[in-house]
Amino acid sequence: MSTPPDPDALIAALLPSTGIPLDPAWRAAVAANLRVAAAIAANLQAFPLPDAVEAAPVFEPGR
């Protein structure tokens, strides 16, 4: 498993591309949420999903 990314590094790298104006006062809370998400994602991606498992969003052609 790779090391979960540093939330502050994610904010620095990705926030400018979103166009969201981040008040410095909000940064710690955003980082805390990202840290939780990163830990969840690391655990999820450690699960050996078979290649044949497709995503499950809803889309029906013709509707």
Partner 1 sequence: MSLDTLLDRDATGIAAAFRAGETSAAEIAEAAIARIAARNPVLNAFTDVTADRARSAAAALDAMRARGDALPPLAAAPFAVKNLFDIAGVVTRAGSRINRDHPPAGSDATLVVRMEAAGALLLGGLNMGEYAYDFTGENAHDGPSRNPHDTTRMTGGSSGGSGGAVAGGLATIALGSDTNGSIRVPSSFCGTFGLKPTYGRLSRGHSFPFVTSLDHVGPLARSVRDLAASYDAMLGPDALDPGCTARAVEPVGQGFEGGIAGLRIARLGGWFARHRMAESDAALDLACAGLGVTAVAELPEAERARGAAFLITMAEAAELHLPRLRGRPADFDPAVRDRLIAGALLPAGWVQTAQRFRRWFAEAAATVFERHDVLLAPATPMSAPPLGTQTVTLDGVELPLRPNIGVYTQPISFIGLPVVAVPLWPAGQRMPLAVQVIVPAWREDLALRVARMLERDGIARAPVAAFGA
Binding site for partner 1 (CB under 8 A): 5, 10-11, 14-15, 18-23, 26, 29-34, 36-37, 40-41, 43-45, 47, 49-50, 53-58, 60, 63
CB of residue 22 to partner 1, shortest distance in Å = 7
CB of residue 37 to partner 1, shortest distance in Å = 6
DSSP 1-63: -PPPPPHHHHHHHHHHHHT----GGGHHHHHHHHHHHHHHHHHHHTS---TTPPP-----TT-
The one-letter code for the residue type at 26 is: W
Comparing CB distances to partner 1, the nearer of 3 and 58 is 58
